[in-house]
Amino acid sequence: MKKGNLIYHIMTAAIFIVLEVAALTMLTRSGELQKTWFGKAGQGFMEWIWGGTQKISDYFSLREQNEKLAAENSRLTMLLAKQNDSLFRDTLDKMVMPMNAVGDFTYIPARISKISSNSQHNYMILDRGMNDGVREGDGVVTAKGAVGIIDAVSENYAFARSFKNHQMSISARLGKEGSVGTLSWDGVSKNKALLKEIPHHIALAAGDTVYTSGYSSIFPADIPLGTAGEAKIVNGATYEIQVTLLEDLESLRYAIIVGNLGNGEITKLENRE
Amino acid sequence: MRGNQNFGILYTLLVIAQILLCNYGQFSPYVMLTILPAMVLCIPPSVSTIMGMLIAFASGLSIDWLSEGLLGLNAAAILPVALMRKGIIKIFLGEDLISRGDRFSYRKNGFGKISFAQSVCLAVFLALYIILDGAGTRPVEFCLLRGGISFACNFLLAIMIINILSPDDRK
């Protein structure tokens, strides 16, 4: 496009705009309807413009808003954690522990810092250690089950073998006064275990609760562990009963470390034998 | 030059006719009679767009002022037609007409092409006129009906006006 042509086109457009504006101005002055209509249209246009600029401004202030939200989120998370912590302490206080168990047990509340649940040798790390009186061989329990045994202890942390570990078994009783067998994880399910070595002459009822027997020096007696399900006879001599665990080991956050004060003496006696 | 003088006189007379139409030719709210778009289309192509717009504006304003209508209504509606005049001629009647500065006529350029050109001018004018006149207070159905009926009536009037303002040279 030639320069002269461009100027001519610009002039044409400018004159058109001037004349059109003049005509519309005259129109709005001579007609009330037109005046109101143009007024409304003008307001709508201004709203659109201001709304648009406000949206742009909001967009660019998103970072600041995000930072504020993150700070608020952090504050609320801290508040929630504090509240949960006090709730946890309250729950521990209210927890009915079997104090009349065999031996003299200590109970240390602990938070689970780390837990694995997807391997055959699962473990957990608790935030209590030697400084808190935790020792190797102590048990880890909750109100709904025995969940592990302490394997190693540092000053502030304890490493425990999880119940979901092939190397762990618990002495368990079928019902409060039933036969005693060994309970171990079935190795597959997330909440199933097998209660073995139950004599086959014992009458079984599905739904019976399985408790800790109290015959080991690790766990106190009568901690509910699960409910009995299907049973099958193994080698023609004993029952193998499927047990549904009461505790969900995958969502565990808090536990109690139980220590038998007479454990050292018992071990000494066992060794002498 | 003489042709242009004749055109000027005829154009002025047609503006007066339009004023009379506006004052005495309102038979129904659904019919709006106008010959202004056809008059603007017939402004000789040798006349520049700017001059065409000024002529259209002046005639529109005169009609508004001397008739019972709203001041600025015809002027506002006819200005876009004047702006698009050369473009419409180029599209429908060919660019040669503009470069030669020739006038068009039904005989030279054909009824169909000129009808398309005048239809576009008429549609633009009527659309703007009806919207501005209604000012958002009339229902869409009324506006469409008014536009349709007015278009049909004015199309016939436009044929007459084009015959008057752009007569065939051989006549």
Reading the block at residue A232, the tokens are 């099958």
Query: For chain A, what percent of residues have pLDDT higher than 70?
Result: 88
A27 and B54 within 8 Å at the Cβ level: the answer is no
- pLDDT band per the 50, 70, 90 thresholds, residue A157: very high
> Is the pTM for the entire model greater than 0.90?
no
Burial class (CB in 10 A: 0-12, 13-18, 19+), B75: buried
Q: Please give the average per-residue pLDDT across A2-28, as a whole number.
A: 85
Q: Write the pLDDT tens digit of every residue in B3-58.
A: 566 788 888 888 888 888 888 877 777 888 888 898 998 888 888 888 999 999 99
Between chains, do B135 and A36 touch, taking CB under 8 Å as contact?
A: yes
Mean pLDDT along residues A34-41? 79
Judged by CB atoms closer than 8 Å, whether chains meet at B70 and A27 is answered as yes
Query: Which residue did the predictor score with more confidence, A178 or B102?
Result: A178
Counting Cα atoms < 13 Å in the Cβ hemisphere of B13 gives: 9
Count of other CB atoms within 10 angstroms of residue B88: 18
Highest mean pLDDT among A71-85, A92-106, A117-131, B97-111: A117-131
Mutate to test the interface with B, among A19, A21, A40, A43 (most CBs of B within 10 A): A19
Q: What is the ipTM of this complex?
A: 0.84
Q: How many CA atoms lie within 13 A of B33 on its CB side?
A: 19
Band (pLDDT 50/70/90 cuts) for residue A158 is very high
Give phi and psi for A182, each to the nearest 5. Answer: -110, 135
Which residues from chain A sit within 8 angstroms of residue B76, using beta carbons? 20, 23-24, 27
What is the structure's pLDDT at B167?
67
Q: How far apart are CA A66 and CA B99, in angstroms?
A: 63
Question: Which range has the worst mean pLDDT, A199-203, A210-214, B37-41?
Answer: A199-203
Q: What is the pLDDT of residue B2?
A: 52
Helix (H) or strand (E) holding A44: helix A32-60
CB A60 within 8 A of CB A66: no
pLDDT of amino acid A98:
45
- CB A8: neighbour CB atoms within 10 A? 15
Nearest to A227 by CA among A247, A209, A249: A209
Using alpha carbons, select from A231, A221, A227 the residue that is nearest to residue A208.
Answer: A227
How many whole angstroms separate alpha carbon A174 and alpha carbon A213?
9
What secondary structure letter does DSSP report for B72?
T
- Bridge partners (DSSP) of residue A65 are none
Q: Which pLDDT belongs to residue A37?
A: 80
Range name among A11-25, A36-50, A137-151, B46-60 with the lowest pLDDT average: A36-50
Could you tell me the two tokens for B107? Answer: 């005989």
pLDDT, position A101: 41
Per-residue pLDDT at A93: 62
Q: Which residues of A touch B57 (CB under 8 A)?
A: 19, 22-23
Which tokens is B113 given?
């092409």
Stretch A175-187: mean pLDDT = 85
| Chain A: residue whose CA lies nearest to B56 | A19
pLDDT level of residue A256 (50, 70, 90 thresholds): confident
Asked whether residue B169 carries a pLDDT value surpassing 60, the answer given is no
pLDDT at A8 over 60: yes
- State yes or no: pLDDT of A20 exceeds 50: yes
A197 contact partners, CB below 8 Å, separation of at least 6: A181, A182, A238
pLDDT confidence band for B135 (50 / 70 / 90)? confident
Question: pLDDT by residue (tens digit) across A68-82?
Answer: 776 777 677 667 767
- The residue type of A66 is N
> For position A88, what pLDDT does the model report?
65
Residue with tokens 């659109």: A48
Q: Which residue has the higher pLDDT, A75 or A94?
A: A75
Question: Counting runs of H as helices and runs of E as strands, what totals does chain B give?
Answer: 8, 0
Could you give phi then psi for residue A228, rounded to 5 degrees? -75, 145
Q: How far apart are CA A156 and CA A183, in angstroms?
A: 30
The answer to whether B53 contacts A12, with C-beta atoms less than 8 Å apart, is yes
Digit-coded pLDDT (tens) for B70-104: 888 888 999 999 999 888 888 888 877 777 777 77
pLDDT at A10 > cutoff 80: yes
Single-letter code of the amino acid located at B134 = G
Higher pLDDT, A214 or A78: A214
Give B21's Cβ-side CA count (13 Å radius): 17
**Rounded distance, CA B1 to CA B17, Å?**
24
Q: Which CATH number fits domain A100-272: 2.60.40.10, 2.40.10.340, 3.40.50.2000, 3.30.420.10?
A: 2.40.10.340
- What residues contact residue A228 under an 8 Å CB cut-off, 6+ apart? A174, A195, A204, A205, A206, A207, A208, A209, A210, A241, A242, A243
DSSP label at residue A141: E
In this prediction, residue A96 carries a pLDDT of 45
Q: Is B135 helix (H, G, I), strand (E, B) or coil?
A: coil
Of the two residues A101 and A211, the one the predictor is more confident about is A211
pLDDT at B81: 92
Q: Which residues are within 8 A (CB) of B31 and not within 5 positions of it... i.e. 6 or more apart? A: B146, B149, B150, B153
Residues of chain B with C-beta less than 8 angstroms from the C-beta of A11: 50
Percent of chain A with pLDDT over 90: 7
Question: Among B71, B62, B61, B68, which Cα is nearest to B32's?
Answer: B68
**Burial letters B140-155, b for 16+ CB under 10 A, else e:** eeebeebbeebbebbe
Q: Do A40 and B71 touch (CB under 8 A)?
A: no
Q: What is the DSSP string of B26-68?
A: ---TT-----HHHHHHTS-TTS-HHHHHHHHHHHHHHHHHHSS
Q: Are A29 and B71 within 8 A, CB to CB?
A: yes
A121: which strand partners?
A: A165
The domain spans of chain B are 2-165
DSSP lists the bridge partners of residue A227 as A209, A244
